[in-house]
């Protein structure tokens, strides 16, 4: 079974631009979560989607948004990029909601550099 696939692997953008990252979950997984990893803040939760609905959201500004499609694939978008948005963005998928013993499986991430 293929794992979580994130594209692209690397991105370089300029301040003020916007960016869209893509995530394909493990086949059959309906929940997709996004995390930001930086050296200073560590791993921080961005949001979670389940059956095309945002179920949970972290403490990030509105410039960070996401969506999930009917095939469970997800995208996240960051508008008006700032230097501090440079990070590794990780997507994780899960069979179902937490509480049913269904752990998160992570992709290899998209490394975003903002210059």
- Measured distance CA(12)–CA(31) in Å, rounded: 28
* Beta bridge pairs of residue 45: 35
- Closest contact distance (angstroms) between CB of 55 and other proteins is 5
Of the candidates 1, 2, 14, 99, which one interacts with other proteins according to CB under 8 A?
99
Q: Residue 87, interface with other proteins (CB under 8 A)? A: no
> Interface with other proteins by CB under 8 A: which range of 14-22, 65-73, 79-87, 106-114?
106-114
How far, CA to CA in Å, does 74 sit from each of 30, 101, 112? 10, 22, 17
How many of the other CB atoms lie within 10 Å of CB of 48?
24
The helix/strand/coil state of 14 is coil
Q: Residue 43, interface with other proteins (CB under 8 A)? A: yes
- Interface residues with other proteins (CB under 8 A) are 4, 6, 31, 33, 35, 42-43, 45, 48, 50, 55-56, 58, 90, 92, 94, 97-99, 101, 103-109
């Amino acid at each position: 079974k293929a794992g979580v696939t994130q594209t692209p692997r690397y991105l370089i953008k300029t301040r003020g631009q916007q960016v869209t990252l893509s995530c394909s979950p493990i086949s059959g997984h309906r929940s997709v979560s996004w995390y930001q990893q930086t050296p200073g803040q560590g791993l921080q939760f961005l949001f979670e989607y389940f059956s095309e609905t945002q179920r949970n959201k972290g403490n990030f500004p509105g410039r960070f948004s996401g969506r999930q499609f009917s095939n469970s694939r997800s995208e996240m978008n960051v508008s008006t990029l700032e230097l501090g948005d440079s990070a590794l963005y990780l997507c994780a998928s899960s069979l179902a909601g937490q509480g049913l013993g269904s752990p998160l499986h992570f992709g290899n991430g998209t490394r975003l550099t903002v210059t």
